Amino acid sequence: MAEEPPPRILIVDDEQLQMAALCNTLRDEGFETTGFASAAQGLAALRSKNFDVLLTDLIMPEMDGISLLQAALEIDSNLAGIIMTGQGTVDTAVDAMKTGALDYILKPFNLKSILTVLSRALALRRLRMDNSALQQRLSERTQELEAANKELDAFASSVAHDLNAPVRHIGAFARVLEEECGDNLTGEARVYLANLIGSTDRLRRLINDLLHFCRLAHADLKQERVELKTAAMTAWSRLAPETAGREICWQLGELPAVRGDASLLEQVFYNLLSNAIKYTRTRRVAQIEVGRLPTATGEHVVFVRDNGVGFDMAHAGKLFGVFQRLHSAQQFEGTGMGLANVRSTITRLGGRTWANGEIEKGATFFFTLQA
């Protein structure tokens, strides 16, 4: 393993003898030192060579240490700056730390204190550079993931479009066959044909839901004032055909106004309420409630609760997945995309989603939005 090079120290002090003595002392301690009595020469050296630490006197005739440090940081933002000053200008040295200096050293110098300050400055510089490299890798990784997700969404959208036509043709020809030849088919053949028609209908719904999910992921987000209570009431009114003939106790509590996309938030309520209506079908009196939870954090927590068939919390992690279902299509219709769309929308709006439930004791779905 290659040995690490010694730390590179740039020393700028208009007192020539003091600057030379400090260079020699730190060189003996294992540092690579370069010294100048001129701030201009120090800046020129920074432009041609990399240094780890700048040690600069505070009071100099050509350029004070604060100005030199600010100019140096414009050349190399990772440079660790340390101000050297006399006892009478400590307050000024402390002020210098507000402009970018990491520490200061008092004159006359004490070798032990100098080495302590240098060690601390070098450690902080390494931490900053490691953090910067980590942030860069994270940014690159995020960009790669975003590009991969866009490619995946584009691929899914393309596949869905390409599948739509043949599926539509299969369904159309199956219905023609049923109308023109149904009477001549055996009972078993008619069952097969009915299954074929049902399967094509389900496949078409799956494809359409996938297309909707892909479009939702890239839809432009509006930022407007949204009354969540109005959004919930509008979604409920759209679900009137599904509630016809049902005895439903529908409760709508007070909901906040938020910044968001009104149409997308209305669709969130539509999906959650449609879910509640579906899974309370086996109840003589369905109970569906929309409300908010009190919270001390800077976000609103909204819930949709029902007394339906519920679910096993062991499978809660699957609820918001694409095409994930906890009940068979024979029990409850659907493609498993509604909750995936809810999570996609709320995530894009900067919120979170989760659910609580118990088998045969109902379910509650939560989402958060920024206050």
pLDDT score of 277: 93
The band of 295, judged by pLDDT with boundaries at 50, 70 and 90, is: confident
Dist CA 140 CA 70 (whole Å) = 29
Token duo for residue 58 = 């505070």
Query: pLDDT per residue over 101-160, tens digit each?
Result: 778 788 877 888 889 989 988 888 888 888 888 888 888 888 888 777 777 667 766 776
Please check the confidence at residue 87 and state whether its pLDDT lies above 90. Answer: no
Query: pLDDT per residue over 174-202, tens digit each?
Result: 888 888 887 888 888 888 888 888 888 77
pLDDT score of 207: 73
Give rounded-to-5 percent helix, strand, coil for the chain.
55, 20, 25
pLDDT score of 44: 94
Q: Whole-model pTM above 0.85?
A: no
Please provide residue 348's backbone torsions phi and psi, each rounded to the nearest 5 degrees.
-65, -30
- Peptide bond preceding 5 in cis form (omega within 30 of 0): no
Please check the confidence at residue 325 and state whether its pLDDT lies above 80. Answer: no
The band of 205, judged by pLDDT with boundaries at 50, 70 and 90, is: confident
Biggest CA–CA distance in the chain, Å, is 112
Token duo for residue 254 = 């007070």
Please check the confidence at residue 286 and state whether its pLDDT lies above 70. Answer: yes
Pairwise pLDDT comparison (133 vs 326), residue with the higher score: 133
Please provide residue 11's backbone torsions phi and psi, each rounded to the nearest 5 degrees.
-115, 125
Q: CA of 289: how far to CAs of 14, 240, 292, in Å?
A: 76, 16, 10
The band of 239, judged by pLDDT with boundaries at 50, 70 and 90, is: very high
The residue written with tokens 């694409």 in the block is: 322
pLDDT score of 151: 73
